[in-house]
Amino acid sequence: MNERPGALLALIGPDIVVKSRRTRTRFIAQLEHNVRDALSRAGSTFALRRLGTRFLVETAAVDAAASVLSHVFGLAAICPVDAVCRADPGEIALVGGRVFAEAVRGRRFAVRAKRLTPEPFTSRDVEVALGAALAPLAKVDLDAPEVTVRVELVGDTAFLSRERLAGAGGLPAGVQGKVLALISGGFDSPVAAWRMLRRGAEVHFLHCSLAGRAQERLAVQVVKLLCELWAHGTRPRLYLVDFAPLVEELKRRTARPYWQLVLKVLFYRAASALARIERADMVVTGEALGQVSSQTLANLATLDRFAEVPVLRPLAGFDKAEIVAEARRIGTAPLSERVPELCGLSGAKPAIAARVGQLEAELAKLEPEMLARALDSRRTLDVMALKAEDLREPYLFVDRFGEGEVVIDCRTPAEYRRWHVPGAVNIPADELMERWRSLDRDKRYVLYCTFGTRTPLVAELMQQAGFDAYAFRGGIAAVERAVEAEWRRAFGET
């Protein structure tokens, strides 16, 4: 029996479990790859085993592993394990009664047991035995419990847990083929890409830059964050194409009511060309029906005639408020808020029901080779290989802590409790993204996080708003070295 096992169970989602044996085997293999990739990229030391429709992850960093796995598509739930014992109702009652006594004391509780393999007793037997052990301390409530104690029975082993984190659901990224997502960095396109990742697609990206490198950098940051959080198990590529010369050309040569639609056709053609290079099956956009003039049903039908690769619009039926809410939920909203709306080129009376012939006539006014030249000059980024220094200018970073600074630890509370810079305050990165505007503008701030990739995003936001804010260069290992070096200097050691 082990009451502090350093393990968690990750439950495979029902969308996978119900597949045919052949498909299920392939999906679970991809899911296992994605889980290993997510944990490895997070720097976790772990052992992974599959137990039927569960993965058992053994690691000393349970909280960090659970947080990472909650972003892996294909997992229904993550349960940190509180105790492991022999699969026997009596022993389960003994161990569970001791482990969960304080958690249920004076509260309404329920016991839920599930068997993954045949046993000489039923799940109900386990629920009754453990419930009886806990009943003197609390009230049983099977309909609306305040605390739910869970028992997973696998072979001769029982895993006992109380906390159950929601998984990302969906299908493992990479099982449904490739798509190429047009990405501006605003609210819509990252959410559309996220929805395709959640349904098992391997997503690559195309950003058509309309306003130079500064705006392009914002889009790169959004893609990096999206992939770092959600694209586990894949190696997304981001194509960067300079569209500024094409925009100037179409403004000079084409009729104003058609500017936006001509630009969209060029986007579609660029995406189709790169989709063929990527061997992607479809192009994905963040278009929503009726959101702007170019996205009327008539215009979208016309635009589809110019796409050489099928176009998917995962957000077609979404309201803007729904898209923004989902962007906040998946973590891209704080960056997308900074991205200016640069796609709208039309002035008064834009075309809302353009015909194919009208667009063909406008496109004929453009120099045919301009798009080809832009594509030939494209740059390709390996998103997962991007480092913090690739995303930010050197003035954002510091390598040591100074007097009078407010040091903010942007890791999870559990990581903060294990170790932090003396005097640092804990504000997790997602929370700080929402709260930084309320901080004292007269103070100097230094932020650090686990890998050194998220705090530069916040530091840049704060600098642009007039804060004296910096990100510590590198991740937590660099922070620890710096603190040790300061300590040695303070005490005259070399």
Mean per-residue pLDDT for 418-447? Answer: 94
Read off the pLDDT of residues 197-208 as tens digits, 9 standing for 90 and up. 999 999 999 999
CATH number of 178-386: 3.40.50.620
Q: Are 293 and 261 in contact (CB under 8 A)?
A: no
Q: Do domains 178-386 and 395-490 have the same CATH topology?
A: no
Instruction: Give the model's pLDDT for residue 3.
Output: 64
449 is a catalytic site residue: yes
Give the rounded percent of residues in the chain with a pLDDT score beyond 90. Answer: 77
Backbone angles phi, psi at 208, to 5 degrees: -100, 105
pLDDT higher than threshold 70 for residue 88: yes
Which of 204-213, 261-270, 410-419 is least confident?
204-213
Domain 7-166 CATH class label? alpha beta
Q: How far apart are CA 467 and CA 437, in angstroms?
A: 9
Residue 210 — very low, low, confident or very high, per pLDDT cuts 50/70/90?
Answer: confident
Spatial CB neighbours of 286, under 8 Å, sequence gap ≥ 6: 182, 184, 186, 187, 188, 189, 190, 191, 192, 193, 313, 315, 323
- CA 327 to chain centroid, in Å, comes to 10
- CA 402 to chain centroid, in Å, comes to 33
179 bridge partner residues: 203, 282
Give the rounded percent of residues in the chain with a pLDDT score beyond 70. Answer: 93
Q: Is the dihedral of CA 14, 20, 23, 28 positive or negative?
A: positive
Domain 395-490 annotated CATH 3.40.250.10: yes
What value does the mean pLDDT of the chain take?
Answer: 91
State the residue for tokens 């704080």: 334
Read off the pLDDT of residues 321-375 as tens digits, 9 standing for 90 and up. 999 999 999 999 988 887 766 555 655 578 889 899 999 999 999 998 999 999 9
Residue 213 — very low, low, confident or very high, per pLDDT cuts 50/70/90?
Answer: low
Q: Where are the domains of the chain?
A: 7-166, 178-386, 395-490
Q: Which residue has the higher pLDDT, 385 or 392?
A: 385
Describe the strand order of the beta sheet including 157-161 as a list of residue ranges: 83-86, 157-161, 147-154, 108-115, 139-140
Instruction: Give the model's pLDDT for residue 292.
Output: 87
Q: Is the dihedral of CA 315, 320, 324, 329 positive or negative?
A: negative
| Alpha-carbon dihedral 213, 218, 224, 225, rounded to 10 degrees | 170
Query: How many CB atoms within 10 Å of residue 98?
Result: 13
399, 409, 458 from 165: Cα distances, Å: 36, 23, 27
pLDDT higher than threshold 80 for residue 377: yes
Strands, DSSP E only, in 217-369?
237-242, 282-284, 311-312
| DSSP 8-state symbol, 142 | S
pLDDT higher than threshold 90 for residue 397: no
Mean per-residue pLDDT for 14-38? Answer: 96
Residue 132 — very low, low, confident or very high, per pLDDT cuts 50/70/90?
Answer: very high
Mean per-residue pLDDT for 241-252? Answer: 92
pLDDT higher than threshold 90 for residue 218: no
pLDDT higher than threshold 60 for residue 239: yes
Instruction: Give the model's pLDDT for residue 394.
Output: 47
Mean per-residue pLDDT for 398-419? Answer: 93
Closest by Cα among 270, 350, 251, 353 to 309: 270
